[in-house]
Amino acid sequence: MSHIPRILIVGGGYVGMYTALRLQRRLRRGEARVTVVDADSYMTYQPFLPEAAAGNIEPRHVVVPLRRVLHRCEIVNGWAVGVDLQARTLEVHPHQGPPRTLPYDILVFAPGSVSRLLPIPGVAECGIGFKTVEEAIHLRNHVLAQLDLAASTEDEEVRSRALTFVFVGGGYAGVEALAELEDMARDACRYFPSVDPGDMRWILVEATDRILPEVGPDMGRWTLEQLRARGIDVRLNTRIESAEGGRVVLDDGGEFDSATLVWTAGVKPHPLVRASGLPLDDRGRVRATAELTVEGHPAVFTAGDCAAVPDLTKPGQTCAPNAQHAVRQARTLADNVVAALRGTERKAYRHAYAGSVASLGLHRGVAQIYGRKLRGFPAWFMHRTYHLSRVPTFNRKVRVLIDWTLALFFRREITSLGALSDPRKEFEFAARPESRIPERAERPVREGRPGPRAAEERSGSPAPAERR
């Protein structure tokens, strides 16, 4: 029986999924088999994460199930942990069971990036990133839970800590996540009579002297003014020194307690890149040729956030890590894999960065596309139209459109479903009620005469002194 070449794709994100989609369309039956290895069973459309966090889009609609769209490919879920470039094999650890060794003829290496963390005391313990749908949904539940907490406590310190939200990093992930969540929380305040929007502190800490470089200096300055006009405390040229126990200390002298620290200060190549043995540049990215093969390894292709791809429109520079490049690189990469199989000529990747669009909350946005600057509603509308046209599959487009249409007619949901991440809590309580409610005899007994608060709690109405 003749050998059918195996194309092994590491990472089912932007590059991996779009490459596999194009390969399954272009490859002839029996020409090659395609296997995609990813820790998750879905691809995440990251530009929609801020809207998912704000409750404008259902979380399930910002992810694309790999098995449904890649019906001609094999999907293996697990962590790729190492590549043997001599033997042409990939070691994969499925989430359970023994490791697997998968042979390949052509490897597409696209594990993307992870948050770039700095060794700042407390950040790894208290912080959270904003790269995955799990993080976005956790943050939505967490912010709403902080409003619930602030409305329910009488302790000023607890309240102030709950209502202080800190974001570190002013790129599009940080600015969009902060702007959308602040918009959502401000809107939710109408259901919390004891929480005024002005009681909340939203702080953006940025180490350089500008935010949102993706939309250019003018639009970045405009965005800064807009955020400050909304009461958001944007601190430029400022770094976080520590966040131990949620006590945030800044190098401009600022110091406060916060229950929310979101880390969006850039990305670095996935740790698998260093373990791969592939040649790296000074930023730890895989050195790619313009044809998207790895330098010195013609059977290994790479692209996306993990790769240093030469930007042919700006000689001497490499492409920035963004979806705009990742999607287009995937197209060229897939065509070059087909060319490698058929022995035909490969193409070089070339794309001039078109600019960027960012959402700053409902009906507010900023954009710079092909030199055209847009702000406010037109930019927000463009953001939605552009991403709707880009989100993969017709099915997802329709679902996102329905979410947006429903949001026009109904108010946002304000329930925190944070307990979803701990579903056994109630069952454990049923088994061991004493874990939450002390036995009657053990309850603390107040000494002396009951105060006004105790009287209020017994009668259910405000104490006389407070009624006045």
Ligand X SMILES: Cc1cc2nc3c(=O)[nH]c(=O)nc-3n(C[C@H](O)[C@H](O)[C@H](O)COP(=O)(O)OP(=O)(O)OC[C@H]3O[C@@H](n4cnc5c(N)ncnc54)[C@H](O)[C@@H]3O)c2cc1C
Interface positions with ligand X (CB under 6 A): 11-16, 37-40, 46-47, 49, 79-80, 110-112, 130-131, 172-173, 270, 272, 304-306, 321-324, 326
Asked if 38 and 75 count as a contact pair (C-beta separation under 8 A), the reply is: yes
Q: 3-state DSSP call for residue 440?
A: helix
Q: Minimum distance from CB of 269 to ligand X (Å)? A: 9
Q: Which residue, 45 or 222, is less far from ligand X as judged by CB?
A: 45
| Shortest distance (Å) from residue 101 CB to ligand X | 14
Distance from C-alpha of 401 to C-alpha of 338, rounded to nearest angstrom: 35
**Cβ-based neighbour number of residue 281 at 10 Å:** 14
> Do the Cβ atoms of 212 and 219 come closer than 8 Å?
yes
Min dist CB 109 to ligand X, Å, is: 10
Q: Which is nearer to ligand X, 321 or 361 (CB)?
A: 321
H/E element, 328? helix 323-342
What is the nearest approach in angstroms of ligand X to the Cβ of residue 410? 25
Cβ closest to ligand X, residue 149 vs residue 336: 336
* DSSP secondary structure letter of residue 304: G
Q: Which is nearer to ligand X, 226 or 356 (CB)?
A: 356
Measured from the CB of residue 137, what is the shortest distance to ligand X in angstroms? 13
Determine the Cα–Cα distance for residues 359 and 380; give it in Å rounded to an integer. 6
Rounded Cα distance, 361 and 452, in Å:
43
Q: How far is the CB of 112 from ligand X (least distance, A)?
A: 3
Residue with tokens 């092909």: 370
We find the least distance from the C-beta atom of residue 37 to ligand X, in angstroms, to be 5
Task: Answer whether 14's CB lies under 8 Å from 330's CB.
Answer: yes
Please name which of 72, 66, 77, 80 lies closest in space to residue 108, comparing C-alpha atoms.
80
Integer Cα distance of 56 and 413 in angstroms:
9
Q: Which is nearer to ligand X, 232 or 272 (CB)?
A: 272
Of 170 and 321, CB closest to ligand X:
321
Is residue 286 within 8 A of residue 333, CB to CB? The reply is: no
The smaller minimum CB distance to ligand X, of residues 76 and 189, is found at 76
